[in-house]
Amino acid sequence: MPLFCPPEMEDDKNRLEQMNLVDTHTHLFLPEFDADRVDMMQRALDKRVARFFLPNIDGTTVASLLKTCDEFPSNCFPMIGLHPCSVDANYEKQLAEIKGWFGKRKFYAVGEIGIDLYHDTTYVEQQKVAFRTQIEWAKEMNLPIIIHCRNSFNEVMDIVTKLHDDRLKGIFHCFSGTVEEAKRVMDLKSFKMGIGGVVTYKKSTLPQVLKEIPLSHIVLETDSPYLTPVPFRGKRNESSYLWYVADKLSEIYRVPIEEIAAVTTQNAMEVFGQF
């Protein structure tokens, strides 16, 4: 049965518009939430986090992704792609399986896709091919892409820049780069940067970087169950904690949190369309 926004929010349409948050990247379908998924969703909705975009990982997660979105159809929106950490010698077979899903139901983005050179570089060339392939899918279907970019910014930007045209847009998930890298993303004009719990960490350089990035280029995300913000760092992340990210951005940009909510929600709509 779908969960909807708390009834009290319906009494103030203007405040609802200003204060809703969108979690543009959350893995609510993973086993970490199996024991309390409904309660966790209700906590988020009670906190006015009302829209959740769920990125796929690989063929093994599609069923749980779609099941979660079907359980909460008014709030959860599926995205599908092959995560770079799942790219291996059988990546072509995996890509074919993923592509087959596009004709079966609506997806809101191709993702998460990209290049990850942090853990293992064995299949880096295959990662690049898979990334290019999925970008072309997105362009053909007029869908945004959700980019996973870890220790690979230059490699990712080289591919995105070469394939970029007026059909390509999306989000650099979990952006944690430099001001110079942020400016390269902004130069693409059709991409946003996803900011999550890392911005709240004591040693994070993101607060200083964000001072050079207009809020119009930012969307909010949790990446739950990962990257939990302070003061819950070390525990499982969940979408209700997105307000801690918004609060930190309010401090960085020196604007009311209502403005953070309104602008980042509008930014998410620029990526995904009306939802």
- Specify the pTM: 0.93
Which domains are delineated in the chain?
20-272 (3.20.20.140)
DSSP state of 80: B
104 neighbors 143 (Cβ within 8 angstroms):
no
* Rounded-to-integer distance, Cα 17 and Cα 14, Å: 5
Instruction: Give residue for tokens 């999306």.
Output: 170
Token readout for 17 is 């518009």
Half-sphere exposure of 164 (CA within 13 A, CB side): 16
Cα–Cα nearest to 171, from 19, 6, 26: 26
Sheet holding 49-54, edge to edge: 21-23, 49-54, 76-78
* SS3 call for 2: coil
- Classify 134 in phi/psi space as left (phi over 0), alpha (psi -120 to 50) or beta: alpha
Taking each helix axis as running N to C, give the angle between helix 153-163 and helix 124-141, from 0 to 180 degrees, rounded to the nearest 10: 40
DSSP of 195-259, one letter per residue? E-GGGGSTT-SHHHHHTTS-GGGEEE---TTSSPPTTSTTS---GGGHHHHHHHHHHHHTS-HHH
Contacts 24+ apart (CB under 8 A), 208-211: 209/177, 209/178, 209/179, 209/182, 210/249, 210/252, 210/253, 211/252
Beta carbons within 10 angstroms of residue 72's beta carbon: 20
Amino acid 153: pLDDT: 97
pLDDT tens, N- to C-terminus, the chain (275 residues): 333 343 333 444 455 445 799 999 999 999 999 999 999 999 999 999 999 999 999 999 999 999 999 999 999 999 999 999 999 999 999 999 999 999 999 999 999 999 999 989 999 999 999 999 999 999 999 999 999 999 999 999 999 999 999 999 999 999 999 999 999 999 999 999 999 999 999 999 999 999 999 999 999 999 999 999 999 999 999 999 999 999 999 999 999 999 999 999 999 999 999 87
CA-CA distance, 259 to 261, in Å (whole number)? 5
CA distances from 96 to 91, 101, 180, 258, 274 (A): 9, 9, 36, 43, 29
pLDDT at 275: 76
Residue 100, number of CB atoms within 10 A of its CB: 11
Q: What is the pLDDT of residue 30?
A: 98
